Chain A
Amino acid sequence: MAWGDAKASKVRLLLFMASIILGIAAVVSIQLFSTNLKENIQSQSKTMMGADYIIDSRQEPTESAQAIIDSLNPNAYEINFVSMVAFPKNGSTKLVKVRGLEGSFPFYGKIQTLPEAAANSYQASGGALVDAALMLQFNVKPGDSIKIGDLTLPIVGALKSIPGSSAMSSSMAPPVIIPYSSVEETNLIQFGSRKEYQYFYKASDTLNLNRLKNKLEPLLEFENADIKTHTDATRRLGRSFENVGRFLNLAAFIALLLGCIGIASSVSIYIKEKLKAIAILKCMGASRLQSFLIFLIQIAAIGIVGGLIGSFIGIGLQTLFPYLLKDFLPFALDISISVKPLFIGVFLGLFMSVLFALLPLLRTWYVSPLEVLRIDEQAVQEPIKVRFMVFAAILVFLFLFAFWLIQNLFYALAFVMATVITFMLLAGVALGYIKMIKRFFPKHWSFTARQSLLNLFRPNNQTVVLVVAIGLGTFLISTLYFTKDILLTKVEIGQTTQNANIIILDVQPEQRSKVVQSITDKGLPLLNNMSLVTMRMHSIKGRLVNNMRQDSTTQIRRWVLNHEFRTTYRDSLVASEDIIKGTWTPKLNANDPVVISISDNLASDANITVGDAVVFNIQGVLMETTVGSIRAVDWSQIQLNFSIVFPKGVLEEAPQFHVVTTSVPNETSAAGLQRELVNKFPNVSVIDLRQVFSLVEDILDKVSWVINFMAFFSILTGIIVLIGSVRTSKYQRIKESVLLRTLGAKNKHILQITAFEYVFLGLLGSLVGILLALVSSLCLAVFVFKEPFSPSIMPFVVFLPGITLLVLAIGLSNIQSVLRSSPLEILRREG
């Protein structure tokens, strides 16, 4: 009986199945990918670090730190720094990360080079391993040479990969590996230059790394050094992919949710159409359970088949993710396929189908045999208690499902709450709209316009379901679009001559005027010429920073206590900052008390405000200061911003180095300037922001591709829901349209009535969706990204008309049969 009935309604049931398939496909593909990612990260944790643990320091280790390092007997060590290098073969220059290595690092995984033997021989032969992409870019080959500072080395191999380095970090400053013993000859390790010392350890399997870390960390921290274990690395990596994972899970959650709406809406209409048949069955003696089971079996069977198909599609889809995300992953991702997702897919398909179909299915239970004589909408309502229980079960399912996806109680609750609120708002708007139309019905509108409005609150109307489906789909894609905007604004690129695109760092005081001259001689503008003084906080509001480090209850963020601040001094504010508290002091005379200006984020992280005392340690000299003003700094502008600014007249005599910026018009000019600077001043580092800009753009492009891909998935499910909802209403509309035709309505009238109705629905749904997206994006901007929000008009000018047109097209495609068939044929068919 169940099978026979399903065959007769296969188009409707196919749409119902499509909702399940898409939802399940999204969940299975994303779940599989996340599991694979997690397993890969865990299994490759040592390989990713290359060692069991590392001790590192941003300065030459202190005596005590060195004692700890030596007592543990490092198996390998390195000093690394960012520097400009030159290729004498063709005179080209590039900013790279120079790694001077000693010992057999890595202990896990290996340095991959071409030729392969170079990885093992470079230390003995005194050669350099140069990033393979960089060699390709500058057309250099093994056997050519590389000039690093004052040292010229032969290139012995192309470096393809080294544990712990991703394509993303490599493209900012590609790695060049040289023997540790050669570093000194470069003469690049000078005061003020940024460098890192790393000591690599291989531990026995029995060593408890966590215990070691807990014991050493406070001691090392006190000496400005740090210990990292391979498990930290995987945790950190796991965390950095958490957001990607969370976003993908959110997309899966929404795709599945839309699928659930599709199920609920199509089953609801389907059952309504079957009520008379059920009443007839009951008249003939079918029990409540029998009639309920007929439809339950149908729904369950479709759920299982849909789940199975969705799982297969999901398994196919997940193989796409590693390809899309490969540039973000520091390792090759192995995809393994198991039967588990099939079980998950089938179980989810079955469970969500039955659960979301339960409410309409229960109507079969309560339908009276009397309905044979007259179908009464009100007569088949199930008791409120039963409805409440079903709703509660749905909410519990959603919560458990969200929790299973993201493994975080708070986020799961937030997901469900956000969903319920969005649903309620959309449904509320739809109901309010219906009420408003009823109350202020435009009696003087044309017949067709009035008819289409009437359709919105007709019995069995789809207004609420369609507004929710359209609204949710639009809400999702618009939120993603607005969010992308926020992220893109963060790296707004100034390509005008007012914005610097070349930054020259580490300029020593005696080099300053010569560097400036090199720039001005080329006719380039000198945009900034700043002095940088490095210092650490010694005490805050009278409390010693060293004491605060030991205090676990301190409200000051840890980075503030450990950070080496690069400060500057000037007499005016720059474009990216505004005073929000206190008074700006441009200049001080000798013996004046020192007042400084701090950024708002530092004020909040260090828990200080105007009038508070801060003592700095400037290369061993203590300087007492008072906070004079707090600035709001727009860090999103790529330019030199500072969290601490001194007035003029204080730091002029302190040990310092300088930063000079300029703007170059093109690639040739940039290359010429970089070549000259590296030749004349080997210690300076030149950052070509144009490359950073294009890299950031490239990364954002890829991120938005992934985002759009998943959003597209949800939208596709949304469209299926839309088609399903609109098509289920088709069967109710046809008869009415035919009656109108019989009474003399032209095709034009029927088209207009339908078109108006779907335009109303499309406009309302998409407009509310976009407005809700505006609110949610504003919240994201304020609370998550902490960025100003300037919404794009794109969703209003593209999505609003686009989605409305899509809804219109689906709606109009529904009445094609009415327009083509003869009225008599349909009147007879529809009774």
Chain B
Amino acid sequence: MSKILKITGLEKTYTSGNKQLTVLHDISFDVEQGQTFSIVGPSGSGKTTLLGLCAGLDQSNAGTVELCGQDLSLLNEDQRAQLRNKEVGFIFQNFQLLPTLTALENVSVPLELQGSKNATAKSMELLEKVGLGDRVHHYPSQLSGGEQQRVALARAFANAPSILFADEPTGNLDEETGEKVIQLLFDLNKENGTTLIIISHDMELANRTQQILRLKGGTIVSNQTTSVL
């Protein structure tokens, strides 16, 4: 299997006044195409920073990130944006939907950015898949948390991404709704053959992925495969 994400010697440091704060130190790991992968660790361990670097949302101080065969450090912001638009999907803990757009319009955004001609039809299809066929014209403020996260899910899969990053996807949802969303996430992932990277506190959720990377204080504690297949 080819590697969709290859991290080598990654370092991330923030400067606060005269102080240097190292958030990530010497991080190296690979993710296979189609794999489900989770990053776990306590608060402040650098999980979200790592996700940002992997997805090209931020730049490292040292080391390389190779996403979909492209070294992100060699790309400028626009090229990284283009790569994200083509290959990457996102799901956030607080949904991050555009408040001025309806559910349908939110899902259409990645397709619109690609210049897709049938963005609306594709988005409708996806919303029906996540069970929101009757809520397509609702604004985020008119939807419940679970419904908003399902819209985010549909949006994440709209551009048929090669890799999907999910940052605490159930963090803002109750157990039952969270379970429904996760089931949907795994189903869509399976259906589309997408690589899935999940960041979570929830070990139960992490155990449902094929590999778990544990972070603590900005360094890798372990990187193990799980028995889930």
**Docked-complex contact A454 and B84, CB < 8 angstroms:** no
Q: By the criterion CB–CB under 8 Å, are A742 and B57 in contact?
A: yes
**In the complex, which residues 48-75 of chain B have their Cβ closer than 8 Å to any Cβ of chain A?**
48-49, 52, 57-59
Q: Which of B32-40, B98-106, B198-206 contacts A (4 or more CB under 8 A)?
A: B98-106
A748 x B78 contact (CB < 8 A): yes
CB distance from B118 to the nearest CB of A (A): 13
Q: Whole-angstrom distance from the CB of B68 to the nearest CB of chain A?
A: 13
A831 in contact (CB, < 8 A):
yes
Interface core residue of A376, A447, A744 (most chain B CB under 10 Å): A744
Q: Are A743 and B94 in contact (CB under 8 A)?
A: no
Residue of A745, A747, A827 near B57 (CB, 8 A) is A827
Query: Does the CB pair B109–A740 fall under 8 Å?
Result: yes
Of A455, A744, A828, the residue contacting B113 (CB under 8 A) is: A744
A827 B96 Cβ-Cβ under 8 A = yes
A748 to B100 CA separation, bound complex (whole angstroms): 21
Contact in complex: B113, A822 (CB < 8 Å): no
* Choice from B52, B81, B112 contacting A746 with Cβ under 8 Å: B81
A748 to B59 Cα, complex, angstroms: 20
Asked whether, in the complex, the Cβ of A822 is within 8 Å of the Cβ of B78, the reply is no
Q: Is A494's CB within 8 Å of the partner chain B?
A: no
Interface string of A392-421 (1 = CB under 8 A from B): 000000000000000000000000000000
Cβ-defined contact, B52 with A822, below 8 A: yes
Partner of A743, one of B58, B78, B113, B141: B113
Apart from the given pairs A447-B115, A459-B141, A744-B82, 18 other A-B contacts in the complex at a CB distance below 8 Å: A376-B141, A447-B109, A454-B100, A458-B100, A742-B84, A742-B90, A743-B110, A743-B113, A743-B155, A744-B81, A744-B113, A745-B113, A746-B82, A749-B113, A822-B57, A822-B59, A823-B52, A824-B49
Contact between A454 and B101 (Cβ–Cβ < 8 Å)?
A: yes
Is A144 among interface residues, defined by CB-CB distance under 8 A? no
**Are A736's CB and B98's CB within 8 A?**
yes
B52 and A824: CB pair below 8 A? Answer: yes
20 A–B contact pairs at CB < 8 A?
A376-B141, A447-B112, A447-B115, A459-B100, A459-B141, A736-B99, A739-B96, A740-B98, A740-B113, A743-B85, A743-B109, A743-B113, A744-B85, A747-B78, A748-B78, A823-B57, A823-B58, A824-B58, A825-B58, A831-B94
Contact residues in A for B113 (Cβ distance below 8 Å): 447, 740, 743-745, 749
Query: Does any Cβ of B come within 8 Å of A741's Cβ?
Result: yes
What is the bound-complex CA distance between A603 and B86, given in angstroms?
Answer: 82
Within 8 Å of chain A (Cβ to Cβ): is B77? yes
B123 within 8 A of A: no
State the CA gap A741–B141 with chains docked (Å): 22
Neighbouring B residues of A828 by C-beta, 8 Å: 48
Please give, as numbers and ranges, the residues of chain A lying within 8 Å of B100 by CB-CB distance: 454-455, 457-459, 736
Contacts A743-B84, A744-B86, A744-B110; is A458 near B99 (CB within 8 Å)? yes
Q: Hey, which chain B residues are within 8 Å of A739, CB to CB?
A: 96, 98
CA distance A459 to B94 in the complex (A): 19
Q: Is B159 part of the contact surface with A, judged by Cβ < 8 Å? A: yes
Give Cα distance in the complex from A743 to B98, angstroms.
Answer: 11
Chain B residue nearest to A824 (CB atoms) is B52
Expressed in whole angstroms, the minimum distance between the Cβ of B85 and any Cβ of chain A is: 2
Across the interface, do A747 and B159 meet the contact criterion of CB distance under 8 Å?
Answer: no
A-B contact count (CB 8 A): 75
Contact across chains for A822 and B58 when beta carbons are under 8 A apart: yes
- Chain A residue at minimal CB-CB distance from B105: A454
User: How far, in whole Å, are A684 and B37 apart by their CA atoms in the complex?
Assistant: 107
| CB neighbours of A459 from chain B (8 A) | 99-100, 141
Q: Convert B135-172 into 0s and 1s, putting 1 for each residue whose CB lies closer than 8 angstroms to a CB of A.
A: 00000010000000000000100010000000000000
Q: Nearest Cβ in chain A — how far from B49, in angstroms?
A: 7
* C-alpha spacing A824/B14, complex, angstroms: 13
Closest 3 pairs between A and B when the two form their complex, measured CB to CB: A744-B85, A824-B52, A458-B100
Contacts of A747 in B (CB 8 A): 77-78, 81
A 720-764 contacts with B by CB, 8 A:
736, 739-749
Chain A hits for B52, CB < 8 A: 822-824
When each residue 165-208 of chain A gets 1 if its CB lies under 8 Å from chain B and 0 otherwise, what string results? Answer: 00000000000000000000000000000000000000000000
- The A interface is mostly helix, strand or loop, or mixed, namely helix
Residue of B nearest to A749 (CB): B113
Residues of chain A within 8 A (CB-CB) of B57 are: 742, 822-824, 827
**How many A residues have CB within 8 A of the partner chain?**
26
Contacts of A447 in B (CB 8 A): 109, 112-113, 115
**Measured between alpha carbons, how far is A748 from B99 in the docked complex, in Å?**
22
Q: How far is the CA of A744 from the CA of B81 in the complex (A)?
A: 4
Question: Which A-chain residue is minimally distant from B79 (CB atoms)?
Answer: A746
B9–chain A nearest beta-carbon distance, Å? 20
Q: How many residues of B contact A (CB 8 A)?
A: 32
Cβ contacts under 8 Å, A823 to chain B: 52, 57-58
CA distance A435 to B196 in the complex (A): 43
Against B, the Cβ 8 Å flags (1 = close, 0 = not) of A570-586 are 00000000000000000
User: In the complex, what residue of chain B is closest to A732 when comparing beta carbons?
Assistant: B99
Report the separation of the CA atoms of residues A747 and B76 in the bound assembly, to the nearest whole angstrom.
11
Asked if A741 contacts B81 (CB within 8 A), the reply is yes
Complex CA gap A447/B92 in Å reads: 23
Contacts of A824 in B (CB 8 A): 48-49, 52, 57-58
List chain A residues, Cβ under 8 A from B90. 742-743
Residues of B within 8 A of A743 (CB): 84-85, 90, 109-110, 113, 155
Complexed CA–CA distance, A455 and B99 (Å): 10
Measured in the bound complex, the distance between the Cα atoms of B79 and A747 in whole Å is 10
Residue ID in chain B nearest A459 by CB atoms: B99
How distant is the Cα of A824 from the Cα of B78 in the complex, in angstroms? 15
- Known contacts A454-B101, A459-B100, A827-B57: A744-B94 contact under CB 8 Å: no
A446 to chain B, nearest CB (A): 9
**Which residue of the partner chain B has the closest CB to A460?**
B99
Give the most central of B83, B100, B112: most A CB within 10 Å.
Answer: B100
* In the bound complex, CA of A831 to CA of B94 (Å): 8
Contacts of A744 in B (CB 8 A): 81-86, 88, 110, 113-114, 159
Residues of A within 8 A of B94 (CB): 831
Please provide the chain B residues from 183 to 229 with a CB less than 8 Å away from any CB of chain A in the complex.
Answer: none
A547 shortest CB reach to chain B, Å: 78
Taken residue by residue from 370 to 387, chain A's Cβ proximity to chain B (1 for < 8 Å, 0 otherwise) reads as 000000100000000000
- The smallest C-beta distance from A287 to any residue of chain B, in angstroms, reads 29
For window 811-829 of chain A, which residues contact chain B by CB distance below 8 Å?
Answer: 822-825, 827-828
Known: A454-B101, A822-B58. A745 touches B81 (CB 8 A): yes
Q: Which residues of A contact B78 (CB under 8 A)?
A: 746-748
How many Å lie between the Cα of A455 and that of B100 in the bound state? 8
Which A residues are in CB contact (< 8 Å) with B82? 744, 746
Contact flags (1/0) for B14-29 with A, using CB distance below 8 Å?
0000000000000000
A447 to B109, CA, bound (A): 8
Q: Bound state CA distance, A748 and B115, in angstroms?
A: 14
- Nearest chain-B residue to A746 (Cβ)? B78
- In the complex, which of the residues B78, B81, B94 has the most CB atoms of chain A within 10 Å of its own CB atom? B81
Cβ of B96: which chain A residues have Cβ within 8 Å of it? 739, 742, 827
Give every chain A residue within 8 A of B101 (Cβ-Cβ): 454
Q: Which residue of B lies closest to A828 (CB)?
A: B48
Q: Distance in Å from the Cβ of A829 to the closest Cβ of chain B? A: 12
| Chain B residues, CB < 8 A from A376 | 141
- Determine the distance from Cα of A726 to Cα of B159 in the docked complex, in whole angstroms: 33
CB-nearest residue of chain B relative to A735? Answer: B96
Which interface residue of A740, A742, A825 has the most chain B CB atoms within 10 A? A742
Q: Which residues of A contact B99 (CB under 8 A)?
A: 458-459, 736
Question: Nearest Cβ in chain B — how far from A823, in angstroms?
Answer: 4
Complex CA gap A455/B48 in Å reads 30
Most buried by A among B49, B113, B155: B113
* C-alpha gap A745/B81 in the complex (Å): 6
Closest B residue to A450 by CB, please name it: B112
- Of residues 774 through 831 on chain A, the ones whose CB sits less than 8 Å from some CB of chain B are 822-825, 827-828, 831
CA distance A824 to B96 in the complex (A): 13
Which among A457, A823, A825, A828 has the greatest number of chain B C-beta atoms within 10 A?
A823
